[in-house]
Each structure stands twice: as structure tokens, then as C-alpha cells.
Amino acid sequence: METDSVQATLCQERKKDPIEMLHSGQLIKVCAPMVRYSKLAFRTLVRKYCCDLCYTPMIVAADFVRSVKARDSEFTTNRGDCPLIVQFAANDARLLSDAARIVCPYANGIDINCGCPQRWAMAEGYGACLINKPELVRDMVKQVRNQVENPRFSVSIKIRIHDDLTKTVDLCRKAEATGVSWITVHGRTTEERHQPVHYDAIKMIKENVSVPIIANGDIRSLKEAENVWQITGTDGVMAARGLLANPAMFAGYEETPLKCIWDWADIALELGTPFMCFHQHLMYMMEKITSRQEKRIFNALSSTSAVLDYLTDHYGI
């Protein structure tokens, strides 16, 4: 768990309060928690291109609390990494509150993952199975609220919807009553993967609770973000794959500009990003601007120096 300066990253010192942002009436643009991808370097990049709020990848709270090695590998930040939400997978209120206390000095809040549909997560009692356990979600929110002394520290949840939306509304109302700061709604059920997002369901949830709602699902351009914001009446929009393909999306770019690729190279090298992560992000970013033959060549590169040489030769970077 690395920081430029502990004092500089104290939550109390941070001027950007995500709770205030989500009550501003403006469109708040959010980078989703993406396993392997939404780490410090990528968060640094999207913040340069109008992303207002970033999440860490999902971290298993039990491992984080019990293992120093897990903390050091899973959570890295610095003073520019703000505002920041740390997302945890948890099924135990005490362990979650312990994890929240550890990250409290370095983040603006935590988020409970109640939306991951992957089998391993649900088998462990994490992720989307929690939408059917509103009492456990309530207990986890309440425990963090009781254990973290900082009143500005946010506690949010990210959920998927039920087939029966009355169950989703009930879950959200119970979370709201317990003191949840906001709710992110991915507009698909646990079984749905690539089906159309139910934005009407997100709108219904927004109309039935008072806390801010962030809409999530298939947002791939600034125009789409603005449309979803208008359609649902929500307080923010969260993008995942759209930002992977184009980290400058929220700044209005239709495809990744070369300047963004240059920025990624600078940031990744400065922060010591491992080659596989560095390369994978570039493959996503360059998907729309490279030919099939160029992709074959670029994707086969096996070192940072080879990638930098390729970018220099082909794009003058």
C-alpha cells in the first residue's frame, strides 16, 4: 500500500467530496471497478480526461485484512488519486469494517460489491448473491458506519437488478435507511450478460429512493453517458469497457487520441506498470485505430521496449 505522503492522502485533506459531487445536479462521470484494469496508473490516465470519480478493482476484504502482502499488491494510491472509492467483496460485516478502517486515511469511501455475477464470487457469498440478502447488506453498511469515525467517509453499494424490480427497490430502501451514501445500479439481472441494459429499471429505482444513484451498463461514449443520465434521471454514470477502449471517452473523444496513448506510456512507465498490464491496455486503446495486420504485429510484442519502438515508428510517439 504505497502513497506519496500519508498526510497528503488523508481523506480529511481531500477537497473533492464524492457525496457533494453526486448532489451537485451535474453529470458525474465514473470509472468502474474493473478487475486487473482500474488500478492506479489507469485511474491516473482517465482523470486527465474528465473522469470525476474512480473506483479500485474489487478487493476481497478478508484477504486484505489478514494479509500484508494482499494489501501491498491490491491497493496502491498517491496524492493525485482523488476522489477514490475502494471496492470490497465481503460477506462479513466485521471483516468489511476492519478493511474500511485500514483504507479510510487513503480513500474517500468504500463500496460493497453486490453485483459481480461470476460463479466463484457468488460461491464465496460475494457479489450478486448479496442482492438477495438485504439484511446482510444492511448489517455491513451499518458496521462500517459505526466503526469508521470520519463522517465524510462514504459507504456505497453496487448492485444488479432482480427480475422482480420490487425486490430491488426494497433492497435499495433498506440500504438507504441504514445510511448508504449512494447506490450504483447495473441495469441487468445476474443471469444477463450482453442483453440490452434495462435503463427503465434504473429510472424506477431512482424515483423510489432519495440517495444518489449512478447508472451503469454499456456506456461507450460521452453522448451515451449524457443520454443515459437524462433518460434515467440519475446523478452519475459509470463506464467500464467503454473507458478501456477509449480512456478519453468522458472528454468527448470518439476514439482514443494519440495524445492519450502518449499519456498512458508516460504514466505507466513512471509508476512501474508491469508489461502485461501496460500492453493489454494499449491493445484495448488501439482496437479502433489499427488494422487487422497491425493488431497481429502489435499484440505479439513481448517487451516494453518493443512496444515503445513500435509506437515511435508507426505513430511518431
Cell of 49: 480526461
Is 14 flagged in the annotation as binding?
A: no
195 is in an annotated binding site: no
Rounded CA separation 274/39 (Å): 12
Tell whether 34 is in a known binding site.
yes
Residue closest to 78 by CA, chosen among 50, 54, 110:
54
Q: Is 92 left (phi over 0), alpha (psi -120 to 50) or beta?
A: beta
User: Is 230 labelled as part of a ligand binding site?
Assistant: no
- For 101-258, where are the E strands, in sequence order? 109-114, 154-160, 183-186, 213-216, 236-239
Burial code (b: 16+ CB inside 10 Å, e: under 16) for 239-250 equals bbebbbbbbbbb
User: How far is residue 309's CA from residue 213's CA, in Å, rounded to a whole number?
Assistant: 44
Q: Is 116 a catalytic residue?
A: yes
Residue 183 has phi, psi (to 5 degrees) of: -130, 130
Measured between alpha carbons, how far is 248 from 29 in angstroms, rounded to an integer? 12
Is the bond into 83 cis (omega within 30 degrees of 0)?
yes
Say if residue 21 carries a ligand binding annotation: no
Q: Point out the catalytic residue in the list 116, 129, 172, 260.
A: 116
Q: Which residues are annotated as a binding site?
A: 33-35, 87, 186, 240-241
The annotation places the binding site for FMN at 33-35, 87, 186, 240-241
Which residues are known catalytic residues?
Answer: 116
